Amino acid sequence: MGEPLRFAIIGCGKIAGRHAEQACSHGQLVAVCDIIPEKANALASQYKAQPYYSIEGLLATEKNIDLIAICTPNWLHAEHSIHCLREGHHVLCEKPLAISKIDAEAMIWHAQENRRKLFVVKSTRYNPALIELKKLLDEGKAGKALSFQLNCFWNRPPAYYEGNWRGKIKTDGGTLFTQFSHYIDALLWLFGSVKNVNGFRKNQIHADSIEFEDSGIASLEMENGVIGGLNWSVNTFQKNMEVSLTILAEKATLKLAGEYMNQVDYQLGESITLHSKDEGSANDYGFYKGSMSNHDKLYGHLVKALKDDQHPFTSAVDGLKTVEAIELIYDSIPLDK
C-alpha cells in the first residue's frame, strides 16, 4: 500500500481543524504552524503533530511533506502558497485562492515553475444536489439555460470583524471573497465566465466594522448569453438564512435552496429528478456559521488527484476564475458611500 501521505497545515485558525481531521483520516498530520504559539500547540497536541511558529522553521525542518494546507487569512494565501511551492511541496489552499488576479496568477506560475500541484478548496461542488444539477445541464436535459437568480443572505455581526484581519480591503478583500466565493464558483461551474456586470453595492449597517459592502445587487451577463441576478448580504437578522439558486431553462425550472444551496426547493421539467440530500454540516464557529463543510469528500478526491493527474479536482485555475469574476463585479460596481 506504500507509505501514508504526510500532511502539514499552515494557519491554525478555525478552519484548520477540518483539515487536520481529514489529514489524519487519509494519512498522517506531521506538522502544524501558526505565529501564535498557543494555536499551534493546541492543534499539534490534539492531532499528535509537531508545532512550528514560523513557515521558515517548518519548511527548513520537514523535508518529506506530501502536501501543505494553507489555512491562513485571505491576504496571505499567495505568499504562503508560493513559499511552499518553491520548497517543492504540493499545496491545497483554502478559499479564496487569492484576493487579486495578479496574486492568483503568480501562484499558478510558481506551481508550474516548480512542477508542483496547486489545489483550491471549493467544497460547495460536493453538494449532492449541485452535482446532479451540473450533470443535468451538461447533458442538455433541461434544454438551453436562459437565466438564474442567486441569493446569498447570511449574518455577520460586528463582533465577527473586531480585532482581526476581517473587514479590511487589503487583508479580507470583500464579502464576495470571504463569505460567498464558493457560490460564485458554483455559478462559473454551471454557466462559464462572466461577461458584463451592473448593479449596486452599499455598506448599510457595518460602517464601523468593515471597509467594503455588506450588501450588493448585481445583474450578470455570462459569456454564453445566460443572464442572471446576484443578490448578497451579511445583514440577515441573527443567523444565516439562505443561499438559493433558481434556474430557468427551455425545458425546466428549478431551485436549490436552504442555508447552503444544498436542498431542492422545487423542480419542474421532463425527465428531471434532482434529489434533496441535506448532508453534512456547516462550519460552526460559535456565534456565527460558515459555509457547508464537505472537507471529507474534498480530501477523498484530493488524495486521488495527488496520485492521478487525470482525476478531476478543483485546481488553481478554477480558483483564478473565481477571483477574476469577483474582481470584475467589484470593479464594475462602485461602493456607494
The percentage of residues in the chain with a pLDDT greater than 70, rounded to a whole number, is 94
Q: Say what angle helices 128-138 and 181-191 make with each other, to 10 degrees.
A: 20
Mean of the pLDDT values across residues 165-173? 97
Give the single-character DSSP code of 4.
P
CATH number at residue 109: 3.40.50.720
106 & 187 share domain:
no
Strands 50-52 and 27-33: parallel
Spatial separation of the C-alpha atoms in residues 234 and 240, rounded to whole Å? 8
- Mean pLDDT calculated for residue range 95-114: 98
Confidence (pLDDT) at 57: 98
Comparing CA positions, the residue from 326, 285, 175, 298 lying closest to residue 236 is 175
Q: Does residue 92 sit in the same domain as residue 177?
A: no
- Are 179 and 110 in the same domain? no
pLDDT of residue 277: 60
Domain C-terminal end among 91, 123, 155: 123
Judgement on whether residues 110 and 141 belong to the same structural domain of the protein: no
Strands 67-70 and 50-52, by their bridges, are unpaired
* Residue ranges making up the domain that contains 27: 5-123
> 156 vs 18, 19, 28, 164, CA distance in Å?
21, 23, 35, 14
54-73 per-position pLDDT tens digit: 999 999 999 999 999 999 99
**Is 299 inside a domain boundary?**
no
104 within 8 A of 75, measured Cβ to Cβ: no
Of 245, 249, 248, 278, nearest in space to 263 by CA: 278
Q: At CA 257, angle to CA 256 and CA 262, rounded to 5?
A: 75
In a domain, 161, yes or no: yes
Domain end call among 91, 106, 123: 123
Residue 307 lies in a domain: no
Q: How far apart are CA 60 and CA 140, in angstroms?
A: 52
Q: Is the pLDDT of residue 279 over 80?
A: no
Q: Assign 7 a pLDDT band (cuts: 50, 70, 90).
A: very high
Residues paired with 7 in a beta bridge: 29, 67
Record the pTM.
Answer: 0.94
167 and 265 share a domain? Answer: yes
The pLDDT assigned to 187 comes to 97
Sole residue written with cell 426547493:
265
Would the pLDDT of 288 be above 60? no
Within this chain, do residues 260 and 129 fall inside the same structural domain, yes or no? yes
Res 286: pLDDT: 57
- Both 155 and 283 in one domain: the answer is yes
Q: Which of 130, 196, 181, 131 is nearest to 320 (CA)?
A: 181
Residue 285 has pLDDT above 60, yes or no: no
The domain spanning residue 239 has which CATH number? Answer: 3.30.360.10
Domain shared by 119 and 137, yes or no: no
pLDDT at 275: 83
The reply to whether 224 and 130 lie within a common domain is yes
Mean pLDDT throughout 314-327? 96
- List, in sequence order, the alpha helices (H) in 127-264: 128-138, 158-161, 175-178, 181-191
**pLDDT tens readout for residues 198-257:** 999 999 999 999 999 999 999 999 999 999 999 999 999 999 999 999 999 999 999 999
Question: What is the pLDDT of the chain when averaged over all its residues?
Answer: 94
Residue 66 sits in the same domain as residue 130: no
pLDDT in tens, 108-157: 999 999 999 999 999 999 999 999 999 999 999 999 999 999 999 999 99
Indicate the residue among 123, 139, 161 that finishes a domain: 123
Residue 156 confidence (pLDDT): 96
Q: At residue 283, does pLDDT exceed 60?
A: no
For residues 117 and 131, membership in a common domain is answered with no
Work out how many domains the chain is built from and give that number.
2
Binned at pLDDT 50, 70 and 90, residue 1 comes out as: low
What are the residues facing 230 on neighbouring strands? 150, 218
Position 274 pLDDT exceeds 60 = yes
> Which of the four pLDDT bands, split at 50, 70 and 90, describes residue 280?
low
Query: How many Cα atoms occupy the beta-carbon half-sphere of 167 within 13 Å?
Result: 17
